[in-house]
Structure 1
Amino acid sequence: MSVSRLRSRAQRRRAVSVVALAAMTFVAAACGGDSGQGDGDEITITLSGPNQWNNDPASFGPAWEDLVARFEKEEPGINVETTVLPLAEFGQTLSTQLSAGTAPELVFKQVPHEPEQVHSLNEYLEQPNPYVEGNEKWLDLFNQDYFGPKSTRARNVKGDYEFIPFNLVIVGLYYNADILAEAGVEAPIETYGEFMDACEDIKDAGYVPLSMDQSHLGQGWTYNMIAPMLFHKYADELNQFGANNEPGTALQLSSKSLAKAILTGEFDPKDTPEVAESLRLLKEVFDKCATPNWSGISGGASFVGHDDFVGGRAAIAYGTNFAAPNLKEVDWEWGTMPFPTITKQDSEFATGQPAQFGAGVGGTNYMIPATTEGEKLDAAIKFLQFATSPEHGQPWLDASGGIPATNDAEAAPGLENLTSGEWFTTPVFKQTSFGPKSKAGQPRFEGFLLESKSLDDKLAEMDSDWDAWAKEKADEGGWTEDWAQG
C-alpha cells in the first residue's frame, strides 16, 4: 500500500506551504486538475488563503483542524483540504489562479479579481441554511449591520454577494502590561500626544515601543486609524450613494461615493490638507515608536512584528482579534486598547472625532471561483453554511479569537476592550487608502517613511493611485454617469 493511502484525512488536509511565487504553477495544477476525487466516492475540495492565526507555514491551527474534522464527520462524503499561502504573496497567487481558471474551490476574498471570476451567492443566501433548524433564509442568520442590504462592504460593485464571512475582524493595540508598568505608562493611552510621550518612556526603559515589520499591515493600519479622524469633516458632503450604488447615503461611504469624489476632484490628495497631515502623523508614529529596523523584518500573520512582541522585547503591537490565542503561553500580563484619539493639541486638523476602527467583514471571508461546478460547488456551499451556522461555528470562534458575523453566536472571551465603545463603531469614512489592483497587498507608504520619497512625491503618487482605483471601480460597476466616463 502506498504512503498516500496510509495517510489519515487529517494529514491529507494539512496545508501546503507555498514558499515562493515560483511555486504558483504547481499550486495551480494541484488545485485545478482532475484529481479532486478522494477515496471511493469522496469529493475533495480545497480552501486556500493566508494564515491569519499563527506563523505556522503549514497549518491554520487546531481551531481550523477541528472545524474541518467536525464538518467531515457531518458530511462523510466530502474531504476538505487547506492550503496555507504566504502573507506577502497570497493576493497575487490567488488572483493569478482566478484569472487562469485554476483556483481551488474556496479562495480568500481579499485578492484582486473581477466579479465574473467568482460565483454570485445571492440565490444561496435566499435559501435555508440546512445546518440551522427552522432557518428559512441563510442571509437572515447574519448581523445585517455588517452583512446585509445596507452594508457597503457586503456586496461587490455589481451589487452581488460574492463572499461569506466566517467572522468579523477588528484591529487594535495589544500591550505588555509588565513593560508598561516598568516604563511608568498607564493603559489605555487616551490621546495621540500621550502615545508619543509613552513611546519615549518605553524606549528609556530599554524596550521597543511599537513592534513593526515590513508588511503592508502595519503601515496601512496606522494610516487607516489616523486618517478617518481627520477626514470626518468631509463625510456628510461625500456620502451620495447607498450600498446598492443608487443615489442616497450609506452607513459607511460607498465605493461609488468615494470614486465620484475622487474623479470630480472633490476629494483630492494634493488639495486636501488633511491627507498631508495624516502622512505627517503616520511618519511620526514610525519615527518615534516603531522598531528601528522594521523595514528589514519579515511580516507575520498574527501580530505586526510578532517575534519582538511575543518575545517580550516590544511593549505594544498591532493585532487582530485572531491574534489573542498566540498569547496563551506568554509569562507576562497583557491587555488591549484602541489607537489613541487625535486632539487639537496634537493637530490643527483634528475634528473632535474619536478614534474608531469598527468591526467589519474584512476578516475571514471566502469566495467560490466561477470555475467550481457541480458536486464541488455543492460541497463548497455546504462548508460555508456549516462554518457560519451558530452551533457549528461557535467552537471555532471561541478557539480562534473570533467575533461572530452571525446573530446567535458570541465573541471569543478576552476581547472586551476591542469590542466595545467608540472603537468598535465603524467610522463613516472607513476607507482612506486607495490604489489599483496591481498594488494590492503592497506596502503603500514605505518610500515616504524611509525618506526615499518626499511628501510632495508621495502626494503625487497617491493622486495617481486614487484616480486609478476610482476608474477601476467605475469600469467594474458599469457606471454610466458623466463623471465616471473620464
Structure 2
Amino acid sequence: MTGLALAGCGAGGADAGNGEEVVEITLSGPNQWNNNPSSFGPAWEDMVARFEEAEPNIKVKTTVLPIPTFAQTLSTQLTAGTAPELVFNQAPHSPDQVVNLDEYMAAPSPYSDADTWLDSFDQKYFGTGNAGSKNAAGNYEWAPLNLVIIGVYYNEEIFEEAGVTAPIETMDDMMDACVAIKDAGYTPFAMDNGWLGQGWTLSTIESMLVDKYADELNQFAPDGSPGTSPQVSGKSISKAVLTGELSPLETPEIAESLKITKDFFDACATPNWSGIQGGAAFIGNDEWLSGKAAMSYGTNFAANNLEDVDWAYGTMPFPTITDETTSLSDNTPARFGAAPGGTSYMIPATTEGAKLEAAVKFLQFVTSAEGNQEWMNNSGGIPATVDGEPAPGLEGLMSGEWFNSPTIPALTLTPKAKAGQALYTGYLLGDKSLEDQLVEMQEDWTQASQEQAADGGWTEDWAQ
C-alpha cells in the first residue's frame, strides 16, 4: 500500500533524510469499509500517507483482520504481550493491558488548537459527558477517529415494486412489508451468520422495551461515582445484573425482545442466513449489493460501497416496537445514537519509548481536523471532535429519535471469551428453546458483569 512501511522492522535503522532514525509502528484492526482482505481502502491509505508526510520520522503499517475473528486475535495478542502498537479498541482486554492515556488527554495535541487533546473532542460523545469514554478503572485508554451509527438501507426500486413506503415506522408495518416484498420475489432483509445482525436487532429492541427502568437503574455517574449519567452507565448495568435488578430470567422485557427478534428473522431475514459468512460493509453484503434484497443493515461507513450499484437507495431507522406488537411496550421510539464505537484505537501496554510516542502522535493526528476531515469525507464519517463536519449524504441516519442515544444502552453483555461470537443462532433457528437461551444469557450477563467489576477494581459489596 502507498506510503506504508514493511512489517517486522524495529524502531531504528532507517534514516528519514534528516539525520534521525525512522520509527515504524503497526496498526491492526477489522476492515469496516470494504471486503478487501489487505487494505482499508484509498481513504485510509491517503490518511496514513498524509501523517507520514507530517511526521517523516514515523512510518505506519496497517494489518487488516477479518471482522468475525479480529476480537479474539487481538485479545490473544494483548494477553501474550505480542500485540502491535495500535489495536482496535473492541478487543476484550483488561485495563492493565493497554496504555492509560489520561496524561496525554490532559495535555495539548500538536494538531489541535484546543487547550488539551481531550478538549478537542465533543464531550457528549467522548469525554466528561459520555459514560462509555473511560474503562472500568476510570481511565481513558482509546481515542475515537469518528462516530458510528447504523441504520436500515433500503432499495427504493424494490420498495416501489412491492408497494412499500419508507420509512417503515413500526414493527407491525415491517412484518407487513416483508410479506409484500417476498410476494414481489425478493428477500426482505439481507442477513448473514455474523454477530452484528443479531446483536444490532436484539439490542435495539431491548433498549426500547427496558427504557421504562432507566430511572431506577441509573445509580452511577460517568466516572463511576454515586450519581446519575445521561445514559445509564456500564457500572449501573453491572450492578443491576449482579443484584438481580435486571435479569434475563426475571425481567420479562428481555424474553419478549428475544421473541420479537426471532419473529423478525423468521419473517424477514434471508432464508439461509446461518450459512452465509458475515463480512464488512453491509450485513448480508453480497445479496444486498446484487439487488436481490430490499433492505440491509449498514453503518454510515457502508454508503461508499453503493457508488457502483445501478439502483437508488435510501436510509431509515429500525422500526419502533409499539404496544400494538407487545403489551410490554410503552412506545419508546427506536434509538441507536451516534457513538464513538466506530473506528477507535488504543495502545498496548507493551508499547514503550519512541514507538509509544509515535503511536500517540498518530492518534492525535487522525483525531484532528487536519488529519481526519478528508478521511471522513471519503469514508462516510461522522466527527467525534468539535471542529469536524460529517460526510455528506448521511441525513437519513442523523435525524430524529434514531440519532439520539438510548437511555439504556445495548444489553448484549458478553464475556470476554465469547467476544465476536453469534450467541443467538440456535434460538433464532429454532434449535434452542427460549428458556435455554435465557439461562445462557443470565450466565453470560453475570460473567461479563463480574469481569467489569474485577477490571474496574470496584469495592462495593455487590461487586465482590
TM-score, shorter chain, exceeding 0.5: yes
CA deviations 1:4-26 (Å, max 9, x no partner) are xxxx853646xxxxxxxxxxxxx
Q: 2:18 is matched with which residue?
A: none
| Offset at residue 254 of structure 1 (A) | 1.1
The one of 49, 71, 94 aligned to 1:69:
49
Q: 1:10 is matched with which residue?
A: 3
Contact 1:49/1:85, CA 8 A, preserved across alignment: yes
| Offset at residue 43 of structure 1 (A) | 1.2
> CA–CA distance in 1 between the matches of 2:5 and 2:368?
25
The one of 307, 332, 337 aligned to 2:286:
307
The one of 155, 169, 172 aligned to 1:176:
155
CA deviations 1:121-148 (Å, max 9, x no partner) are 111111111112x332111110000111
Cα gap change, 1:233 to 1:246, in 2 (>3 Å): same
Matched, 1:39 2:39: no
SS of residue paired to 1:357 = coil
> CA–CA distance in 1 between the matches of 2:13 and 2:95?
30
Q: 2:440 is matched with which residue?
A: 461
Contact 2:206/2:410, CA 8 A, preserved across alignment: no
| Offset at residue 230 of structure 1 (A) | 0.4
> CA–CA distance in 2 between the matches of 1:373 and 1:344?
55
Contact 2:204/2:410, CA 8 A, preserved across alignment: no
> CA–CA distance in 2 between the matches of 1:394 and 1:471?
39
Pairs within 5 Å for 1:152-167:
152-167=131-146
Q: 1:446 is matched with which residue?
A: 425
The one of 28, 44, 55 aligned to 1:48:
28
Q: 1:19 is matched with which residue?
A: none
- What TM-score do you get using the length of structure 2 for normalisation? 0.97
CA deviations 1:211-251 (Å, max 9, x no partner) are 00010000000001111110011111100011111110011
CA deviations 1:323-357 (Å, max 9, x no partner) are 01000111100110000111111111111210000
> CA–CA distance in 2 between the matches of 1:62 and 1:139?
28
CA deviations 1:242-283 (Å, max 9, x no partner) are 111111001111111111111111111111111110000000
Q: CA RMSD in A?
A: 1.2
| Offset at residue 442 of structure 1 (A) | 0.4
> CA–CA distance in 1 between the matches of 2:380 and 2:439?
40
- What TM-score do you get using the length of structure 1 for normalisation? 0.93
- The aligned amino acid for 2:115 is E
Q: 2:92 is matched with which residue?
A: 112
Q: 1:24 is matched with which residue?
A: none
Pairs within 5 Å for 1:17-416:
35-37=10-12, 39-40=14-15, 41-132=21-112, 134-416=113-395
SS of residue paired to 1:342 = coil
Contact 2:142/2:347, CA 8 A, preserved across alignment: yes
- The aligned amino acid for 1:164 is A
SS of residue paired to 1:44 = strand
- The aligned amino acid for 1:10 is G
CA deviations 1:404-426 (Å, max 9, x no partner) are 00011111111101111110000
> CA–CA distance in 2 between the matches of 1:12 and 1:261?
48
Contact 2:5/2:24, CA 8 A, preserved across alignment: no
Gaps of 5+ in 1: 1-7, 14-29
Q: 2:400 is matched with which residue?
A: 421
- The aligned amino acid for 1:49 is G
> CA–CA distance in 2 between the matches of 1:135 and 1:75?
20
> CA–CA distance in 1 between the matches of 2:13 and 2:4?
13
Contact 1:233/1:351, CA 8 A, preserved across alignment: yes
Contact 1:162/1:367, CA 8 A, preserved across alignment: yes
> CA–CA distance in 2 between the matches of 1:9 and 1:80?
11
- The aligned amino acid for 1:35 is G
SS of residue paired to 1:466 = helix
Gaps of 5+ in 2: 16-20
Contact 1:195/1:340, CA 8 A, preserved across alignment: yes
Contact 1:262/1:470, CA 8 A, preserved across alignment: yes
Contact 1:174/1:335, CA 8 A, preserved across alignment: yes
Contact 1:38/1:44, CA 8 A, preserved across alignment: no
| Offset at residue 36 of structure 1 (A) | 4.4
Contact 1:9/1:79, CA 8 A, preserved across alignment: no
